[in-house]
Amino acid sequence: MSLHLFDTATRSMREFVPQVSGTASIYVCGATVQGVPHIGHVRSGLNFDVLRRWLARDGSTVHLVRNVTDVDDKIVTKAAANDVEWWEWAYQHERAFDHAYEVLGCLPASYSPRATGHVTQMVELMDRLIGKGHAYASDGDVYFSVKSFPEYGALSGQKPDEVHQGESAATGKRDPRDFTLWKAAKPGEPSWPTPWGPGRPGWHLECSAMATAYLGGTFDIHGGGIDLIFPHHENEQAQSRAAGDGFARYWMHNAWVTLSGEKMSKSLGNTVAIPTMLERVRAPELRYYLVGPHYRSNIEYSPEALDESVSAYRRIESFLRRVVERTGAVGAEGEMSPAFVAAMDDDISTPGALAAIHKRLREGNTALESGDDVDARAAAESVRAMTAVLGLDPLSPQWHDAEAGGAGRRALGVLVERLLEERSQARKDRDFARADVLRDHLLLAGIAVEDTPDGPLWTLKDD
């Protein structure tokens, strides 16, 4: 089976065939850097990181562009409220997002363009649209004419006669359905010169200009959260195609992280900030929690669900450590199971992929218990290869610094795994008294051991 993706535009599964063989181009709507990132913000970055890794597994080149919206109404307002320059406020939170992506194991984007660095491209795009009769200037603002583009609404399913852009009223609009490409300058706000007067860009204009600047007029995949389908992505597609660009060939959208049934957002005050989460769990454990569900399924946040993901990740980690302790270093070039490949090719179905990983893990634990080191190593190499595609390989160097306790915890892990090996052998020999003594020693040292179907799982009691 070849890779099939759910395309929002056609509302169907489509085989992914890149525009250029051996190369995939992806544009992902990145952060509006107005505050500290929470788990809802970074889910999109993680989901598309997994897609990128899967596309690149066979040696294909993947160009992933993830933009930074570094000027908008909220940034200007919050900066003023905190008596900080708007550019300083934006850059401070841009760094926070970069750190969050990095610590959670996202591969660096091919490029992360800032909106403020691409005003020239935006002016050129507006000029093309005005020249073709799809946009007009009024009192320093520039608007896109929705009625001039008969395909408007094709992506989101919106009926043109029922469109509400969610913008404030403006006297210069010819039609209330029209959306803003450029905002005329206001006193005290940032602005850039244009042929139609000074001002700053509208949100939708930014992404069209940046996507085509780096990926060309037509590219493979445009991604982002489902909340962006309308109006943002609908307007991007309309203005880009009206200007003559083919724009995105596939549209992919990830679902929300919710809390009490509501989308996680700063305005609702129900955010779970990344720095706070990383005080509770390690970075790969949080990544496991966020990439485990299918990208098109909502994640209803709860501490209990997070704890389940932590335990599942640690079972993988514990198995690999046991194999390394017994047989030496384990490579990451193992064979991926057919079930894993089928799941990933089925619209990046990470739940099925993780199920395949845990099945292979159980086979590996069975081999360990029976003393078959050859099969155990083969299983471990397979588990490493599959978890690497999800950015979750516990033995990857990327997690060494992120791991709680750093070198101290890794040293502790070696010692604990040795005792667990002795305990497993004692249980195999039916020397249950010896097994209980070993477990009690670990407990006195603050280490809890849980016997699971996937093998023994140890945790620090304060974890």
* pLDDT tens track for 412-436: 767 887 888 889 888 888 999 998 8
pLDDT for residue 361: 97
* Residue 168 tokens, joined: 């404030």
- pLDDT value, residue 284: 97
Q: Is the pLDDT of residue 396 over 70?
A: yes
Rounded to an integer, what is the distance from CA 206 to the centroid of its chain? 21
Decide if 61 contacts 52 (C-beta within 8 A): no
pLDDT tens-place string over residues 169-182: 778 899 999 999 99
CA torsion sign, 82 to 86 to 88 to 90?
positive
Return the percentage of the chain with pLDDT > 90, whole number. Answer: 78
- What is the CB neighbour count within 10 angstroms for residue 193? 11
CATH superfamily entry for domain 4-263: HUPs (3.40.50.620)
With vertex at residue 370, the alpha carbon angle to CA 364 and CA 371, rounded to the nearest 5 degrees, is 90
Give me the residues paired with residue 184 across strands.
Answer: 199
Q: Is the dihedral of CA 233, 209, 266, 255 positive or negative?
A: positive
pLDDT digits (tens, 9 = 90+) for 175-221: 999 999 999 999 989 999 999 999 999 999 999 999 999 999 999 99
Mean pLDDT over each residue of the chain, to the nearest integer: 92
pLDDT band of 459, cuts 50, 70, 90: low
Q: Which of the given ranges, 15-24, 265-274, 404-413, has the highest pLDDT on average?
A: 15-24
Q: Any idea which residue has 């194999």 for tokens? A: 323
d(Cα 406, Cα 372) in Å, to the nearest integer? Answer: 31
Specify the pLDDT at position 404.
46
Residue 133 has what pLDDT? 98
381 near 333, Cβ under 8 Å? yes
Please report the pLDDT score of residue 461 as a whole number. Answer: 55
Mean pLDDT of 74-103: 94
Whole-number Cα distances in Å, 102 to 53, 269, 277, 292, 392: 15, 25, 15, 19, 13
Looking at residue 427, what is its pLDDT? 87
The ranges of the chain annotated as CATH 3.40.50.620 are 4-263
Angle at 157 between CA 4 and CA 46, to 5 degrees: 45
pTM attached to this predicted model: 0.86
Is the pLDDT at 405 greater than 50? The verdict is: no
452, pLDDT greater than 80: no
- Give 293-331 pLDDT, tens digit per residue: 999 999 999 999 999 999 999 999 999 999 999 999 999
Look up residue 440 and give its amino acid: D
